[in-house]
A and B are shown apart, each in its own frame.
Chain A
Amino acid sequence: MAPLETPLPRSQGVSVASVFERYGLIVFLVALLLVAAALSPTFLRPANLVNVLTIAAPLGMVVVGQTFVILVRGLDLSVASLMATVAVLATAFKATTNDAIPMIFVAAIAFSAVVGLVNGWLVARRNVSPFLATLAMMIILQGIRFAYTGGAPISTLPPGMGFLASGRILGIPVNLITLALLAIVFGVVLHRSRLGREIFMVGSNPKAAFLNGVAPDRVIILCYVICSICAGIGGLFLLGYVGTVSNWVGQGYELDSIVAAVMGGVALTGGRGNIFAALLGVAVLVVINNLVLLLGFPIEMQLIIKGIIIIGAAAFYRTRLA
């Protein structure tokens, strides 16, 4: 029998490396903020910071969901397409009064849940790789959406949708409040509940989870449903921010959400990660995008930097594991 406590190979003293391992992202974010502040005196003003965070909120919502899926060794490429489809769905009510908003939310969440259910079913039950299953879902949703709209943008929306995206309660943007609520609810689910423990178990070792009486299939499907619901809600808030529904609302969010989660230390191999760190990843991503503009670089530079960051971050966390 193996001893319960194996001796640690390394000393546990506090080294610079270990501090950087744990707080690296925060240090990095603070450094970025300082650079940004040095470059532009207006950057660190609360008004500007709130502005930046408001733009980032829908992405944050998607990242909350993406984290769940990545934790069970998956990934969801259909989130952006779902966001746009939910946005189109919101206009399908042809509502011009705010009474329709609750109905829009219920419909959007129900639709997203079905999409997540199909994704999860394909991955868990049909053993389709998450990449292909969600890729196919992305294309299918895109087709359905365009077939409905004919490719034209629509703008019949209840006026209240705009308030959701850019309105404020007690000076705090509504979408930030929503993101915080979403993160806290799902953070508690993930890090404090039985389901959360099962998710980590399935992500780090599905076989062991199964032997411990956890049904991996059910947990995986649930993660995809949560991811899609988060993306759907994110889509509604992004829609309100943009104002009109183009068929490409949220384009690029599938990759950005994965980049942010990976930067936040959510391991693509599953079983390791933290929702709040992933959200920190969103902050870093958004500040970097802002910084590129502040530095006067062309906007295309964002693409290059994003590419370097995602490879670099994945490599960083990979060596951390080794």
Chain B
Amino acid sequence: MTKILVLDPDSCTSCRLCELACSQRNFGVFRPSLSHIRVAINAEDAFYFPMVCIQCDDAPCIEECPTEALVRDPDTNAVVVVEENCTECGLCESACPYGAIRVFDGRAHKCDLCGGDPECVRFCAAGALRYESGESWPREQRQAYAEQLRNLAEEVKA
């Protein structure tokens, strides 16, 4: 059975160690602005929310990519970027409903679950990020997550 990255926003404390760990692991620099995982923080409302690719089963980024630069890793079930196929077209970025892919420095960037050992999870002491057995996010959970993101977007706008 594969594992999935479980997000538990209620346990998040807004420390952003996940962003630091992710950027260091993937880019060799402590630079939250590059991190695949981002904690949305609305301090006023004590609202903290980790946002990262949830590796959808029917991933729109894979469907939209015209050059097969996004493929499923059979071992981890993560959607990964094939760098040499990527043309920076940005279709994946607009297709992702969760804002979990960004295109910069000549290619798409997204969470690949660190090949099955997510660094963010190792640094999350609060238990807001966990890597646990499971097939993939069930539909209801994905819908709930999308709903929370939508609420967040509205709050930020307001």
A, B from the same assembly: no
